[in-house]
């Protein structure tokens, strides 16, 4: 089967020869008549033999002489392939663009025969059996390839960055005290705290700590151990009502006072925290604050940055706020005679963060802030303990926050650490973070960190212990500075 054509053309078998050629099943007389009428209708619309192949330079057909089995005398000889049946002769040169996107030259009894794509996008297939599933196969392959390319493009366009804010970020910005300076700050705020908080004062005395300069961690740890290990100790604690008093002390230091300090910060990037929030945050980033206070989220809101709380709906392209240690703005409704189980709220009705801290008056009506203690055994992360205490929502809320932390470490392309030293005492946190590192499967990331001037060396050591070999570059960007210093 041969056909004369100009050298800048290409001879192909028309699709009608595939659709109407003889096949295994014999057609009825009525089917043959319908086929003949349809074939004649199609052939009447066939373009002339001089139909141009648009989009190709002159002589392009000669470059394909070998693939098309085209002889130099202008006669194209089409090989039917092994096992190919007789086909009807061609009526002329087929148009450049086929509805199927396939330009077969011949048919053979092969399920799929691949050929290279030539200039202009024509897919040349010398031997092909047009089975019923061929179109679906090509569509599926094309769709999956497009999806992969789109995914690769989106990944290249978007890089996820996670920001870790610790006590040093608030301390360096507005002089909020770190945990080891809690007693000193509390004494400056309330000089009569020994009288106003008698149970808390008894704990400080029990530990033989200086009355005006004690750390939060040893006091909270002592209270927690007495609550959980009292049967083993054998005697009840020498204080009563220490938990509500500690929560009130936390609100005095990290509550509304910090809310006001955050509102008084200037609306510019002249200080570390303002510069990071104004210039580095992008949609899809994760903002992780380990602080009880609301300084970071209040300042971001003032800058017009829309935050979504972890666990809220539609957070894929949003800047997500994560608070794994809780917040002074999260109300925990404790069980009472009228309420058999506790309730907790960690986000506003629209999915945004809660910005206003609770007050002492809230604690008096069994409404405390949900904050995780600086203790080795964090019962909020133990499902069975919270279930027995009638607080399943506490477990659900906290595990949701830590799940977001692990996922952020796993997905992040880079980290920015501001005033957080990954303390060894936080065994739960370190374990969960290292699990996130393991899930990276060897992918490296860049880490930039800011810290108080005195903690730079220690923070670098702790960061390397947590992230290990996945660190590609660890850069100290300078101390955390604020626009002004406040005496606390």
Domain residue extents for the chain: 2-153, 158-479
The answer to whether 423 touches 455, Cβ cutoff 8 Å, is no
Greater confidence, 138 or 43? 43
From residue 380, give the alpha-carbon distance in Å to each of 17, 172, 199, 287, 468: 73, 29, 23, 22, 28
3-state secondary structure of 450: strand
Residue 14 has pLDDT above 90, yes or no: no
* Residue 263 pLDDT level (bands cut at 50, 70, 90): very high
pLDDT tens for each residue of 465-477: 999 999 999 999 9
- Tell me phi and psi for residue 461, to 5 degrees: -65, -45
Question: What pLDDT score was predicted for residue 313?
Answer: 77
Question: What pLDDT score was predicted for residue 471?
Answer: 95
Pairing of strands 367-371, 414-418: unpaired
pTM of the model: 0.68
Question: What pLDDT score was predicted for residue 374?
Answer: 77
Run of H or E residues at 284: none
Pick the closest to residue 329 from 259, 245, 253 (CA basis): 259
Mean pLDDT of all residues in 109-116: 46
3-state secondary structure 187-241: HHHCCCHHHHCHHHHHHHHHCCCCCCCCCHHHHHHHHHHHHHHHHHHCCCCCCCC
Question: What pLDDT score was predicted for residue 315?
Answer: 75
| Burial class of 193 by CB neighbour count within 10 A (0 to 12, 13 to 18, 19+) | buried
Residue 113 has pLDDT above 90, yes or no: no
By percentage, how much of the chain surpasses pLDDT 70?
68
Residue 234 has pLDDT above 60, yes or no: yes
From residue 101, give the alpha-carbon distance in Å to each of 98, 109, 142: 5, 20, 12
């Amino acid at each position: 089967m041969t056909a004369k054509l100009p050298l800048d053309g290409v001879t192909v078998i028309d699709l009608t020869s595939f659709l109407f050629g003889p096949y295994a099943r014999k057609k009825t007389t009525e089917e043959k008549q319908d086929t003949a009428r349809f074939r004649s209708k199609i052939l009447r619309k066939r373009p002339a033999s001089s139909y141009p192949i648009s989009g190709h330079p002159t002589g392009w057909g000669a470059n394909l002489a070998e693939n098309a089995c085209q002889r130099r005398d202008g006669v194209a000889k089409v090989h039917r392939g092994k096992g190919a049946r007789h086909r009807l002769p061609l009526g002329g040169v087929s148009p450049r663009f086929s509805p199927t996107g396939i330009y077969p030259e011949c048919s053979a009894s092969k399920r799929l025969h691949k050929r290279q794509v030539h200039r202009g996008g024509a897919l040349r297939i010398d031997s092909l059996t047009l089975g019923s599933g061929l179109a679906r196969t090509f569509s599926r392959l094309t769709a999956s390839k497009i999806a992969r390319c789109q995914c690769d493009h989106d990944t290249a366009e978007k890089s996820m960055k996670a920001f870790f804010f610790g006590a040093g970020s608030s301390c360096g910005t507005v002089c909020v005290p770190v945990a080891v300076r809690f007693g000193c700050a509390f004494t400056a705020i309330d000089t009569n705290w020994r009288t106003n908080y008698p149970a808390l004062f008894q704990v400080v005395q029990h530990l033989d700590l200086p009355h005006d300069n004690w750390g939060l961690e040893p006091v909270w740890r002592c209270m927690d151990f007495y609550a959980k290990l009292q049967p083993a100790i054998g005697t009840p604690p020498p204080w009563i009502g220490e938990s509500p008093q500690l929560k009130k002390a936390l609100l005095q230091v990290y509550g509304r006072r910090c809310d006001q300090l955050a509102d008084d910060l200037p609306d510019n990037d002249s200080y570390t925290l303002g510069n990071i929030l104004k210039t580095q945050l992008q949609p899809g980033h994760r903002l992780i604050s380990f602080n009880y206070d609301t300084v970071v989220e209040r300042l971001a809101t003032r800058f017009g940055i829309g935050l979504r709380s972890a666990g809220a709906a539609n957070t894929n392209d949003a800047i997500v706020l994560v608070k794994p240690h809780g917040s002074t703005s999260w109300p925990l409704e404790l069980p009472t005679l009228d309420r058999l189980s506790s309730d907790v709220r960690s986000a506003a009705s629209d999915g945004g963060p809660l910005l206003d801290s609770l007050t002492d008056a809230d604690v008096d009506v069994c409404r405390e802030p949900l904050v995780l203690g600086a203790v080795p055994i964090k019962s909020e992360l133990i499902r069975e303990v919270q279930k027995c205490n009638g607080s399943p929502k506490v477990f659900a809320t906290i595990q949701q926050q830590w799940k977001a932390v692990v996922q952020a470490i796993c997905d992040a392309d880079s980290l920015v650490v501001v005033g957080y030293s990954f303390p060894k005492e936080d065994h739960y946190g370190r374990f969960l973070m290292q699990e996130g590192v393991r899930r990276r499967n060897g992918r490296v990331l860049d880490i930039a960190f800011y810290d108080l001037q005195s903690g730079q060396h220690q923070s670098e050591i702790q960061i390397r212990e947590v992230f290990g070999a996945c660190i590609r570059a660890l850069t100290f960007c300078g101390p955390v500075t604020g626009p002004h210093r406040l005496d606390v």
